Structure 1
Amino acid sequence: MKKITFIICLLALLSANTKAQTLFSFDHQKVSVQEFLKAFQKNNPTVTKNKTKAIQDYLELYINSRLKIHEATVRGYDTLSQIKTEMANLRSQISGKYMHDQDLLNRLTTEAFQRSQKDIHVAHIFIAFQDKNGFNNKAAADKKRDLVLQRLQKGDDFLQVAKELSDDTTSNKNGGDIGYITVFSLPYPFENAVYATPVGKYSTVVASHAGYHIFKNLGERKAMGKIKAQQILLAFPPGIDAAGQQKMKQLADSLYDRLQAGDDFSKLATTFSNDYITANNNGNMPEISVGMYAPSFEEKLATLKKDGAISRPFKTAYGWHIVKRIAVTPVVSDAENEANKLALQEKIKADSRWDHSQDFIFDIVKNKIGMKNYPIPDPLLWSYTDSILNKKPMPPAGRKIQSTDPLLTIGDSTLTIGDWIKYAQTHRFKKDGSGPENLVTVKNNFFKQSMLDYYQSHLEKYNEKFGSQMKEFKDGNLFFEMMQREIWNKAQTNLSALQEIYQKNKSKFQWGKSVDAIIFYCTSLSAANTAHALIQKDPIDWRAIVDKYSNQIIVDSSRLEWSQIQSLKNTTPTKGLLTKPVVHISDNSASFAYILQVFDKPTPRSFEESKGMLVNMYQQTLEENLDRQLRKKYPVTIHQKELDKILH
């Protein structure tokens, strides 16, 4: 039996949750009612009739399984190198997902989906902390912020205020109009401010490292999604006057008339468009998503209601445009779409909104596990660090510090000055390569990473779900090892025992009505039909046909009872019969059979022909014996009062 498949099946049988009333106990081990019921419901989800008997039968099976696992532990199988390796591999594979706040991820996913359903037209006022000379002047920024707010509260037009007062250099042209945005278009604090602001209103002030920001919701629309389009752009050259623009409009109008008469858009784009990148690609633009282009361009594109629709010429600051809608990919509107959820979550995890996903761990470490920061003054620590990492002279005070001195204790783990030096050595420079990182920041990051490392190494203790998953997998490995050693290997290798069973039960090992047959297994019904037609023409040459289609057909030649051949259903076989292909619903593969010989009367099976059944019989005997031995070694006490509650 394949180990992975076996363990997956067993995990459904063994599901741990020990915080409940005890159902049964053995050898100082207690198994809870909830633990048993969870396993029962996984394996019997649709039981409605005779549930009492189903529970009683399953309880016997469950007890036997728990006893085998306990015996494997007593024998020390959990210390076997292969089991320890598999446990370590699983831990490394799954622990990461428990190191982030899954509730936060779910909330952010729901929020991102809801925000993705609409686009918001936004204007922006920016007030910089730096003055024109590049010096920080927060007092001046505060004064300007207050002036902007007074103007807005008085009812002055937001776009006009932006033109006059915003430090965004483009605002004097566009009044702070930054076009449409959707989820993930802006930094998360800005996005929050925009989506919290009603249409026609302006937001509260949002502070960033650069200055103050105020947003206005100019309008909303149903999410545009992504649009594939072609464009003809008659671009304005520098310094063009009104007459020149009008002349270009006349050309745009004539091109539009030609398009309406049936002329080819691709040909005209290649010939006339000044957007040389798209002109060289038949006018095809990169897929357009919200915020990529000026609002006026996006709005015109959004008015095209069907694929193939062509806009009238329209003007932007860049020139005269004619656009043709090719296709639209709408945003996903089903909140339960799993592929979309995963796509949103990938974006969430790459965004600043995910920065606080591990805060819950820091809270657990500080408030539950406990940590102690040893009072080594930072200047002393910096001097020691510089002397080690930057080869600077050691000041007299620094000589008081030793690499073995404790710096931080988390739970039962102490980190030393030496641990700090190792961390600082690889993390003392900024990630962008722009220079050394501030040592205060490096130290804070060291403390955070130490908390994360401790929590992850003790995850079973602090995350019940993770602990249960690891225990289930460990139990599955122990159960498999027990079955392999005590039952499966013995049943396969003890030929004398198999011979003895065969001799004592020869009359039971009979062929029913059977055939010698070649079974052709094909990847699809189409492949089966092709092979069937060729073999029907020349059955003797079936090997050559199989060789020709070896990537689509495999064969098996054996003796089988009529009932074992699906394509023989409702058919009496004859020598030379080629059955019709049948489809296997589980994977849409197909098979058919070529009958070589027919046996229409029962005949004895040889030892070799009976071996599969013999192994199964012997395995059953071995397992029954093992269960009796374990029940004797570990007497089981069933708490009848709790069992009665389940049964009635």
Structure 2
Amino acid sequence: MKLKYIFLGLLMGFVVIAKAQTNSKEVLFTINDKPFFTDEFIRVYNKNLDLVKDESQKDLNQYLELFVGYKLKVSKANKLGLQNNAQYQTELKSYRTQLSKNYTTDSKVTKELVDEGYKRLLKEVNASHILILVDENAAPADTLAAYNKILGIRDRVTKGEDFGYLAQEVSQDPSAKENKGNLGFFTSFKMVYAFENGAFNTPVGSVSNPVRTRFGYHLIKVNSVRENRGEVVVAHIMILKPKDGEADSKAKSTIEDIYKKLQQGEKFEELAKQFSEDKSSASKGGVLNRFASGQLSSEEFETQAFSLSKENPTSKPFETQFGWHIVKFMDRFPVKSYEDSKVELENKISKDDRSRLITNSLTEKLRVKYPIKRDAKLYSTLSKLVTNDFYDNKWVLPTDTKKYSKTLFTIGTKNFTGTDFLDYVYSSQKAGTSLKPIEKLTESLFGSFVDAQLNQYNNDNLENEFPEFSAVMDEYRDGLLLFDLMDKEIWQRSKTDTTGLKAFYETQKDKHQWKTRVNAEIYSSTDLEKMKKVLTMLKKNQTVKEVKDKFNTKENVTIMYYEGVYEEGADALPKETKMTLGLSEITTKGDYHFITNIIKILPAAPKTLEECKGKLVNDYQQYLEQNWVSELKKEFQVKVNQDTFEKVKMQIKK
């Protein structure tokens, strides 16, 4: 899925302004008699002129080829009926929903919530809570009982009883039995909004008044507040954890040996390159991408990483679910600036309880924009039909609803009937609303119905209200089609067309070659004198075990050993390694001394198809795409009006 959005993001640079203008006066070209016009081409060219990096794309002849190619691909997608695909329709709808948020929110309220969220993001609160459960739609009597109960508990706290012990005794949060109600540290957007408000608005050491959330009533005690830890960069050396216990003991022994070498003054980066089994970071000296609290899947790793500093840069060996680690501090980054956080915060707000505040604000504006005048007589008739059976989810629609199909109210150009309202009432009873009496409930339901229809009408009418919204939707529609077409015609084909891939491989062998490789044993140490003794032992055909037993102890690791098959120039091979059989002399790189024993030499040779398949599939995709437009030109009839194109050239040059 991520690939699709990356592709669309790149494509929009070209597509974003490629919306056909059917009101142009001159036809530039046709595809199967469908016209494409000069003003669209000129507009696309001018707006993309500063975006393209390839100078050839600024050439008008070349640009026309690109533009025709793009239109051919969209035509092919429509011919295949990809626009009717259910997944395509779902994704298009999802994108519209996302895009519409820019037009269906109150920007002022949104900004206030972003400001508040960012201010809180700068802090992390450690809080405990006591919960008394009560459903958000509970009857008034049940709600009052829960409220009185939480008030009684708060009274006990204010009289000196320990909050933690009380949480164990009375809190209806199951985890309280173990953690005494302590929720640890959290920042904004980690809890439901009402709870967050209670936590951030309560002074340290104090207990809040009862806080109502959808779970029930809470008492919140703020234990401490600290600055947000931000992000950290660390390097690590990892030895993977095997499945069997005996091998796990060996992994632990290995990491301890490496730690001893660090204590002896050897460089972390070099040891990571030699021994870390995290292949994605080993070649970089073990350095990981920076991360914040909660971003990794190991809490133990994060705890160790954030505990380090310039003054205390290296951890002792520790275990996670993945293996054994030693971590080194590299750098720390504070919380991102307001501007850098803004988009992310807006996205979080849209998925949070805060969004209700924005929706309510917009609804008030829509009520002003579209004044509602209901048919009082019809409404009076409808309200009498709603009975107390509603509370038990037993209310049924009248047998004949046609008599209520008269217009109840109008929004813009759309009428809503009495039948529409009755259908809404019927579907609403499942929510279990307990508002009484029934007349008050019916009025509340009418207000909710109007609000829902105002927002829906506003959303449905965006294309008519905002031309730029309509344009972007058209652009995304074509872009999504083009992605699906390329997935079908290029990407999937390159993976499944085994015959074509094999034939392509035969033409590409010279580009996929192994250099000379060796099966080698490598010894390393920072102690040159001991390495000289190792070389003497190896020349006498003594074993690896004999070498390690002589020079390594439980407390002190002097000689490290590893073996494998390495390509000439590989980082794991000492730099001056000669590709010849047998023992090398001692070579030195930085503080390290190496001895290499080459057991076998594998000569340079073409890689098999399987050995280079990843790169080959990528090359095959590019090959197919380069020939794709030529194939489409055979399938579709393209006619370019050259006289008109010459006029376009003159117009652009002016």
Q: Name the TM-score, length of structure 2 as normaliser.
A: 0.45
Larger-gyration structure (1/2): 1
Q: Name the TM-score, length of structure 1 as normaliser.
A: 0.45
